[in-house]
Amino acid sequence: MESLTTEDEEDWLRLPLSSTKPAVEPPEVHAKKRQKKVVTLDDLVQDDLKKKPKAKSNKLVQKLKAKAHLYSYSDEEGEENLRAPKLLEELEKQVTNGIGEEVEPEWGQEVFRAQLEPPSTPCGGTPSLHRALQALEGEGRETSLEGLARSGFLRAWALCTKRCDESTLRWTYHQMAYSIDESLERCCCKFLSDLVSRISTDSGALLEMEWLPNLSDIKETLTVYGYMRNSRDFEDTHMDSSSESIVRGPLKNLRSILEFIATLFVTRHVQPYYSVVDIESLLVIMVHLSLARELLGILDKVQDCILALIRYFSPEEWSEVCPRVTVSISDLTEGVHNGVFLLGMFSGLGKRSVDMQRRLALHELSKLARRKRLLATSREVASLFENVNLKGKVVDFGKLYYQVVIADIFLWCNEGPIDEVARSIWIKFLGLCSRQIYIGDERAFATKLRNTASFLMQKYEHESHDIEISHVKAADENFQ
């Protein structure tokens, strides 16, 4: 092999640095490059969702430009002919900004703000309990209330004496509501729930409780967690929410509070402690809490409270409470999508929940239609769809879609006699949606409305078939 000359060495030194890289890359660099090229299924779906509106907008822009030659004009024709090209430019801008997508907003609204400082821990225990604690201390056993609550001594003491003093109950409730020790929190929740179940039996008050948390106590606890009933209050607190030290959302102890409330109102034996107005207000709060997405993991506990509170009222009380509760719930609900979520949440909770569904549906329909007077009958609900022009240039399919969904809930929950006129108007409109909205309609919510109407048509036709069969069977039985 010939040796390199001095000139060759100088030429080799003048080569760019990139050419001096080794032919084989280190395994770490090669692995990083391969890792960057990995594309997940989520990435493909996101890219497809981004490309669809752009493709639709480009297609419509091309159509508009292809028709631009139809809008020829001259200076002699005046300003009227200038409107068409301007209109074309405005339409092109609207289309370029993107096509309306059939994406329903997620349910949920802001219910919790920053947490507050919890109140100070009250002292617990009666003189007799403290004497017992001193005796235990002499024997070298656990003497703190926290340890006695964990060991079950407090429960045994209350069941033995058949009463529980106010100071011990207040201390136990405070630990259940605010303790950062999860084991102590759960033990106190079980202790209070066991005591409440003793006074909620059909055999009478087997245990005397000198104190129970009233509505003000429960509201104070929720306020410490950050609960705010009115959205206007959030605007006053947003200014201070920029600090990193502020903790937003409820405490984990809310789960125990909900379990205690659900146990407390299983029967009406706690009636001396709570008025009908208190239970009504608490029911509205529980429904409002169900709109907090932070509570999605314990939404079943919220529903247990709602079910217990709904069943608490007597039939006479419920006939007066239900209209007031639905008005309050409708006022607290922001957005029609949240109203639809609540209507779905009430399904399957019994006959009284059906009453709430029907009344809340009327309130939501009245808000959508901007009616000053509340809709009341099936005929009035069906009249909302009587003169709808689906072929118009400007059609709010999103509003129509929500109206159809809510109207279906009301008509399906309506237990009164069937209004044939309202039924015919309703089915006629559903048929128009199925026929006059074509599958490829690119307007927002148009396809969703069409598919929903087609499904409802099948549902109501099946219902009509079942009604006809029942009438035939009844006629045969009468004939026999």
Looking at residue 235, what is its pLDDT? 47
Q: Are residues 172 and 308 in the same domain?
A: yes
- Among the listed residues 347, 407, 335, 401, the one whose alpha carbon sits nearest the alpha carbon of residue 377: 407
With left for phi above 0 and alpha for psi between -120 and 50, is residue 374 left, alpha or beta? beta
Q: Are residues 60 and 131 in the same domain?
A: no
Looking at residue 128, what is its pLDDT? 59
Judge whether 337 lies within some domain: no
Judge whether 307 lies within some domain: yes
Per-residue pLDDT reduced to its tens digit, 396-444: 999 999 999 999 999 877 766 778 889 889 999 999 998 888 877 778 8
Q: Could you tell me the residue range of the domain that residue 182 belongs to?
A: 108-238+245-312
Q: What is the CATH number of the domain that holds 303?
A: 1.25.10
Looking at residue 350, what is its pLDDT? 80
Whether 54 shows a pLDDT value over 80: the answer reads no
Half-sphere exposure (Cβ direction) of 305: Cα atoms closer than 13 Å: 24
Distance CA 391, CA 358 (A): 31
- Residue finishing a domain among 256, 282, 312: 312
Whether 99 shows a pLDDT value over 90: the answer reads no
Is the separation of the CB atoms in 280 and 322 below 8 Å?
no
Distance CA 367, CA 383 (A): 15
3-class SS of residue 275:
coil
Q: What is the 3-state secondary structure (H, E, C) of 363-399?
A: HHHHHHHCCCCCCCCHHHHHHCCCCCCCCCCCCCHHH
Q: Are residues 59 and 144 in the same domain?
A: no
Looking at residue 105, what is its pLDDT? 83
Grade residue 176 by pLDDT with cuts at 50, 70 and 90. Answer: very high
- Mean pLDDT for 20-36 is 51
Mean pLDDT of the chain: 77
Per-residue pLDDT reduced to its tens digit, 351-392: 888 999 999 999 999 999 888 889 989 999 999 998 888 887
Distance CA 145, CA 395 (A): 67
- Residue finishing a domain among 312, 335, 357: 312
Q: Which residue has the higher pLDDT, 30 or 197?
A: 197
Per-residue pLDDT reduced to its tens digit, 226-276: 998 875 554 444 444 444 456 677 889 999 999 999 999 987 777 778 999
Distance CA 453, CA 445 (A): 12
Q: Are residues 153 and 301 in the same domain?
A: yes
Whether 181 shows a pLDDT value over 90: the answer reads yes
Q: Of 139-143, 323-327, 409-413, which gets the smallest average pLDDT?
A: 139-143
- Residue finishing a domain among 274, 297, 312: 312
Q: By CB neighbour count within 10 A (0-12 exposed, 13-18 middle, 19+ buried), where does 443 fall?
A: middle
Q: Which residue has the higher pLDDT, 10 or 392?
A: 392
Q: Which residue has the higher pLDDT, 125 or 391?
A: 391
Q: Are residues 138 and 170 in the same domain?
A: yes
- Mean pLDDT for 445-468 is 78
Judge whether 418 lies within some domain: no
Q: Are residues 205 and 303 in the same domain?
A: yes
The beta strand positions in 207-360, using DSSP E, are 208-209
Grade residue 336 by pLDDT with cuts at 50, 70 and 90. Answer: very high
Q: Are residues 207 and 303 in the same domain?
A: yes
The one-letter code for the residue type at 184 is L
The single residue listed with the structure tokens 């509201």 is: 219
Looking at residue 419, what is its pLDDT? 82
Distance CA 334, CA 326 (A): 14
The pTM of this model reads 0.73
Judge whether 209 lies within some domain: yes
- Among the listed residues 332, 356, 336, 334, the one whose alpha carbon sits nearest the alpha carbon of residue 345: 356
Looking at residue 292, what is its pLDDT? 94
The single residue listed with the structure tokens 């106190």 is: 188
Count the domains in the chain. 2
Whether 154 shows a pLDDT value over 80: the answer reads yes
Question: Between the ranges 13-27, 80-94, 121-135, 343-357, where is the mean pLDDT highest?
Answer: 343-357
Judge whether 32 lies within some domain: no
Question: Between the ranges 98-107, 108-117, 196-205, 432-441, where is the mean pLDDT highest?
Answer: 108-117
C-alpha dist (Å) from residue 133 to 185, 223, 280, 348, 433: 21, 35, 41, 49, 75
Judge whether 410 lies within some domain: no
Distance CA 314, CA 293 (A): 32
Whether 81 shows a pLDDT value over 60: the answer reads no
Grade residue 316 by pLDDT with cuts at 50, 70 and 90. Answer: very high
Looking at residue 190, what is its pLDDT? 95
DSSP 8-state class, residue 15: S
DSSP 8-state class, residue 227: B
Grade residue 194 by pLDDT with cuts at 50, 70 and 90. Answer: very high
Judge whether 303 lies within some domain: yes
Q: Which residue has the higher pLDDT, 79 or 471?
A: 79
Looking at residue 464, what is its pLDDT? 57
Judge whether 457 lies within some domain: no
The one-letter code for the residue type at 223 is T
3-class SS of residue 248:
strand
Q: Are residues 46 and 192 in the same domain?
A: no
Q: Are residues 59 and 153 in the same domain?
A: no
- Mean pLDDT for 120-149 is 68
Q: Are residues 138 and 93 in the same domain?
A: no
**pLDDT above 90 covers what percent of the chain?**
39
Grade residue 9 by pLDDT with cuts at 50, 70 and 90. Answer: low
Is the separation of the CB atoms in 171 and 213 below 8 Å?
no
Q: Are residues 62 and 176 in the same domain?
A: no
Q: Are residues 94 and 226 in the same domain?
A: no
Question: Between the ranges 200-209, 244-253, 394-403, 464-473, where is the mean pLDDT highest?
Answer: 394-403
